[in-house]
Amino acid sequence: MAEITVKAGQALERILTLELVRVTERAAVASASLRGRGDEKAADKAAVDAMRRELNRLPIAGRIVIGEGERDEAPMLFIGEEVGTGKGPAVDIAVDPLEGTTLCAKNMPGSIAVMAMAEGGTLLYAPDVYMEKIAIGPGYPKGTIDIDASPEDNIHSLAKAKGVKPSEISALILDRPRHAAIIEAVRKTGAAVQLITDGDVAGVIHTTNPEETGVDIYLGTGGAPEGVLAAAALRCIGGEMYTRLILDTEEKRERAKKMGVSDPKKIYTITDMVRGDCLIAATGVTTGNLLKGVKYDKGVVKTHTVVMRSATGTVRWIEAEHRDLSKFHLG
């Protein structure tokens, strides 16, 4: 993991770690109440409303730099929105109030509520476009993967670095028609392919613990906002990730330019996307490999959250039992 230097007074306050957990817990519980109902937008709106409500209680001067919903016209915590009380540190915020809206609507595994918070001016201000991505977890020599190399070359390089045959490598790829060639190339090496329908933030995080998740490498294209959130997680845990924005129209290039992207072909590393100290929290909505979903018992709501901090490399797993249910505003 790259060395992180945090100057005195610039680190995020430790108290914000638990506050961040409360934000994702509220969003997860709100959307979980609509699991299996088949209404993606209603579940997303419930998560957005809950997340906004909790963010506005935090002692921060926050700005949303990575929002969600532009592409599918869902409810948004929009880019540029100011959140928090305004009395506290200036922070950048990236959110995906409900990653895996389809998973939640169909009550399928792996949907989460996730957000990252970083020192002001340190998160990549990325437009809501698609992004090429490749990622692996910690413990490998730098340069093990290359976004410009073929899928075959990356699988062989990773297998060599891990000391195994390519047939012992497993790649996680979003199940999309655009990935057909990547899937075929990976399978030609003998490596396994694990397909997911949604959830590439959790997908990238899976690479950090292949013994538990069975995932060694993430490949493919997905949303740029999710790419920055995933980079925040790897900033905390370690690993290697390279991305490149897909700016294939003049409108997208102009939009990116207005957001400060001067080189449309730039390859971004983890530290390009998340430059300073950051926190990231994710709470399970439906149970998956990473997190357990929200569980409703008699008079109790149970949640499962992971929260990480880059300055210390600390990862906390929090299983909570909530008895004051009024805080969830479930009506």
Q: Domain spans of the chain?
A: 15-123+277-328, 130-273
C-alpha span between 224 and 126 (Å, rounded)? 7
Residue ranges of the annotated binding site for substrate are 99-101, 130, 176-178, 198-200, 223
Chain segment 3-46, per-residue pLDDT in tens: 434 344 444 666 688 899 999 999 999 999 999 999 999 999 99
Judge if 15-123+277-328 and 130-273 fold alike in CATH terms: no
Higher-confidence residue of 5 and 301: namely 301
Backbone φ, ψ for residue 320 (5° rounding): -115, 145
> Mean pLDDT of all residues in the chain?
90
Contact 183, 173 (CB under 8 A): yes
Of all residues in the chain, the percent with pLDDT exceeding 70 is 92
Residues flagged as binding site for Mn(2+): 44, 68, 96, 99, 226
* pTM to 2 decimal places: 0.90
pLDDT(138) > 50: yes
Query: Is the CATH number of domain 15-123+277-328 1.10.10.10?
Result: no
How many residues can be counted in the chain? Answer: 331
CATH architecture of 130-273: 3-Layer(aba) Sandwich (3.40)
d(CA 49, CA 261): 30
Residue ranges for the known binding site are 44, 68, 96, 99-101, 130, 176-178, 198-200, 223, 226
